[in-house]
Structure 1
Amino acid sequence: MKNVAVILSGGTGARFGGTLPKQFTKLAGKAVIEYAVDAFEKATRIDEIIIVSQPNHIDLTWEIIKKNKWKKVTKVFTGGAERFDSTNSALKGLEGYENDCNILFHDAVRPLVNEIIINDCLDALQKFDAVDVVIPSADTLVEVYDDECIANIPNRSIMRRGQTPQAFKLGTIKMAYQKAILEKRFTFTCDCGVVRSMIPGIRVATVKGSEANMKVTNPIDLFIAEKLLQEANQIAFSIEDDLNFLKNKNIVIFGGSSGIGLEIKNAALLLGANVEIASRKFNNVDITKHDTINQYLEKINSKYGKIDYIINTAGLLIKKPIDAISMEEMHSMIGINYTGAVNVAIAAKPYLVKSSGMLLNFTSSSYTRGRPLYALYSSSKAAIVNFTQALADEWSVENIHVNCINPERTATPMRMANFGLEPNELLLDPKDVAMTSLKVLGSKKTGMIVDVRKDGR
């Protein structure tokens, strides 16, 4: 039995603002719609994907399809002004498909749907002709009159919030839409509503959704979705992980003479990679000076013929009140922690274009909130996160991957110099950060901020 996903991307994003609809807005380096389609492309039980798009964004949709090399996407249909019109357009395009095939309609602006939800929908379709994805409501729901006064407060325990996908036997959803059109009823807000109203005898089953399966409706939703992506990107290394892809790869590490950088070097060498270290201490490479980076990378490229990965672990922390920092210390911290990262990225680009490689940056858990006594350090690390995401977007068309590691407090010489001896149980082992970093190098994703935590997540 065929399983077809229909991605509804016909919205205009009027509430979102901007020049493009919200489904094309960038989220951690990719368009929101890319995450949604990716989920169904990777779902093993989905056979085919159809996208419904606004007429003036058909070409952009095809560009995204080609860039991602999705194999399951077969058609892009023209959507309408309302959701009803877009679903109806898809149904018209599905003429000739068997009535008992399974159709899953999903909002393009729900980027974090997962395969568990998709499979639960398909399982439920073995018993029911219509399925909705729902989650409990944490808030009390209030029904109001036209004048905004309360008409009713339903029992929250039996109320649910609807999500997508909504899944149907094709024959069922086609019949419901045919009846709705015949009766000129077009004001439905979801496809399950069409089925329940037009075919009252049909039971609509529900399966459990996820709070992460949120709908990007307002600009703040992008921020929330980004944080949820970060949670999903906790890629802790385990001994079962296969890192053999690193054999004979050429890696350059800036700031690799100690701490996390040195641990990355040691682990990568054991895995058969060629590793070169660049630092002021080791070979007089100063990342605050663009020329020294260029000269070094040119030398390494000549030695190996290409550079696959460039990792920047260089950092400087001086723990002092802001008004006690000298001008020299201020320039050093900004120069190494931010300007240096920019210099490395600019110099790295031509080599990573050639190898379709990855630039891996490092931030700090302090980036989420400015820390007293190291305001310049924490603010520069926040800038690195933003910089990583911007580059991931900017360089994606050239097949360069740009990601960032965000370790919790780690037992490094730099930390000891500023905080003294601390209990080991409170600190990450730099070897664990190194192994997670190497694992990320094998990822095909870009724009990730990968959290590395003491609890192993």
Structure 2
Amino acid sequence: MTTNTRTVAVILAGGIGVRVGLGIPKQLIKIAGKAIVEHTLEVLEASSHIDEILIVMNAGSLRELDELKDPQRFPKLTRIIPGGDTRNDSTQAALAVLGDDPRTKVLFHDAVRPFVDDRILRDCVDALDDYEAVDTAIPSADTIIQVDSASHITRIPDRSQLRRGQTPQAFRLGTIRHAYELANQDRSFHATDDCGVVFTYLPDVPIYVVDGTPENMKVTEPIDVHIADKLFQLQSESLSASPESPDLTGKTIVVFGGSYGIGASIVELARAAGADVHEFSRSSTGTDVRFRGRVKKALKSVYEKTGKIDAVIMSAGVLRVGPLATTKVRDIETSIETNFLAPVIVSRAAHRYLRETHGQVLLFTSSSYTRGRANYGVYSASKAAVVNLTQALAEEWADDEVRINCINPQRTKTPMREAAFGDEPAGTLLDADIVASVSLRVLASAITGQIVTVRVEQPEPEG
């Protein structure tokens, strides 16, 4: 077994994103508040199996990555270089700057595969102790057919022996360099990936395959952007399962709507976690979140007293049930103003303070945001708007390092819900303290632009 060899991860970000159709290189599309390439870089930076990182970027968009050149945040990132016209050209651009040690382990990974996990990285690096070339792949769930120019099936391979290729593809530096040297002597050379170069020009070199994961998807088509966004949301749900309570000692937190329900639970738990909590509501302080002046006054008073604000939570809301056609216009306006306009007002007013602390806004939506519910459609629509607001502001505020997230609690036992729906079966509602506990873990995390779902735990069936 070879030891003490350097391991370099090369992020291939040379694509221009024609298929994704959003007018910018796909690796720069923002999901969950960050460009896809940034998410990918964070995974590789966090891996103990990677010593150094190199990005090969579309030459026309090279300057878009200048903000990633941060030694404090990404100490493993040593350089960002322009790529070529093809993937193979970009690979060779990286090979040209990777030094002379042929034993160096090199992992080539697509910038638009942000869900690669540390197990895959470890398996690729470990496999290079015994092999010179390694691929990542998953079994094919679909039958693969081969067709001719007339679109007639000519062959149906055995699916059990087929795999769908992913990245990373990993190599000994000397091996992949030699393969490209031979390929460049072939005028008919064409390959869509780096393992294909080794397979074609070094046929005696076995290529080992490690198991990928379905989540390690490549963002290529427009629908992939939506799937990736949902995967980030599912990742953030792990916060719901964590039993750990964060330490909020020294944090200054402002809670609007903290006099009852989830807001009151947040105030209590945050104080128990060491935070300096300032609560505002109509009933306790006369603060109506629908009015910009009152919100600004509340935030200013906290800032003047403490000198900083680390987080602002907006948990106030109203829920009125009834047919839209017979609901009073003023009740409709109040619902929209409280459930959507107020989060806008609070977020806007909080930004100036959170920019100083690189803090976070935490908003609340409802499980009804995914589908409008009869008899409270205005409420559902407003909560859907809060989700869109969260995702949009995560992008707007990324440069200021201000985070914004949204809690999506399933039905929760609160005075507001009880007033709207009356008594409901025991065990079907979340306890407000559970939602509050997840909310505090989100505050203590580094995520942004996430819709964090909190669900009722269903009991395991007996027998």
- Scaled by the length of structure 1, the TM-score of the pair is 0.96
Q: Which residue of 1 aligns with 2:7?
A: 3
Distance 2:144 2:213 in 1: 19
Identity %: 45
8 Å CA contact 2:245–2:437 kept in 1: the answer is no
Consecutive unaligned residues of structure 2, counting only runs of 5 or more, are: 459-463
Counterpart amino acid of residue 128 in structure 1: Y
**What pairs up with 1:162-181 in 2 under 5 angstroms?**
162-181=165-184
Q: CA RMSD in A?
A: 1.5
C-alpha offsets along residues 128-162 of structure 1, whole Å, 9 cap, x if unaligned?
11111111111111111122221211111211111
Q: Secondary structure at the match of 1:74?
A: strand
> Please, which moves more after superposition, 182-191 or 135-144?
182-191
Runs of 4+ in 1 over 4 A off after TM superposition: none
Task: List runs of 5+ in structure 1 lacking aligned partners.
Answer: none
Amino acid at match of 1:256: G
Contact 2:318–2:338 (Cα < 8 Å) also in 1 = yes
Equivalent residue letter for 2:282: R
- 2:211 maps to a residue whose letter is K
Per-residue CA deviation, residues 297-350 of structure 1 (Å, 9 max, x unaligned), is: 111111111111100011111122222221011101100010000000111111
How far apart are the structure 1 equivalents of 2:11 and 2:249? 39
Contact 2:361 2:405 in 1 (8 A): yes
Alignment equivalent of 2:249, drawn from 247, 250, 260: 247
* 1:32-111 → structure 2 map (5 Å cutoff): 32-66=36-70, 69-96=73-100, 98-111=101-114
> What corresponds to 1:225 in structure 2?
228
Residue number in structure 1 paired with 2:461: none
What residue in structure 2 maps to residue 440 of structure 1? 442
Equivalent residue letter for 2:77: V
Structure 1 stretch displaced more, 64-73 or 42-51:
64-73
* Cα distance between partner residues in 1 of 2:72 and 2:380: 35
**Contact kept in structure 1, 2:68 and 2:74, CA below 8 Å:** no
Cα deviation, 1:283-305, whole Å, max 9, x if unaligned, reads 11111111110111111111111
Partner SS state of residue 426, structure 1: coil
Query: Residue 153 of structure 1 corresponds to which residue in structure 2?
Result: 156
Distance 2:86 2:72 in 1: 28
> How many angstroms apart in 1 are the aligned matches of 2:302 and 2:279?
10
Give the conservation status (yes or no) of the 8 Å contact 2:9–2:109.
yes
- Match of 2:292? 290
**Counterparts of 1:137 and 1:326, CA distance in 2:** 56
Partners in 1 of 2:192 and 2:72 — Cα distance? Answer: 31
Look up the match of 1:402: 404
Structure 2 distance, partners of 1:54, 1:251, is: 42
Residue pair 2:364, 2:386 contacting (<8 A) in 1 also: yes
Partner residue of 1:213 out of 212, 216, 229:
216
What is the match of residue 336 of structure 2?
Answer: 334
CA–CA separation in structure 2 for the residues paired with 1:285 and 1:295:
9
Report deviation, 1:85: 0.7
1:93 aligns to what SS in structure 2? coil
230-239 or 38-47: which moved more? 230-239
2: CA distance between counterparts of 1:185 and 1:168? 23
Note the 1:279-428 alignment, pairs <5 A: 279-428=281-430
Gap change, CA 1:453 and 1:67, over 3 Å in 2: farther
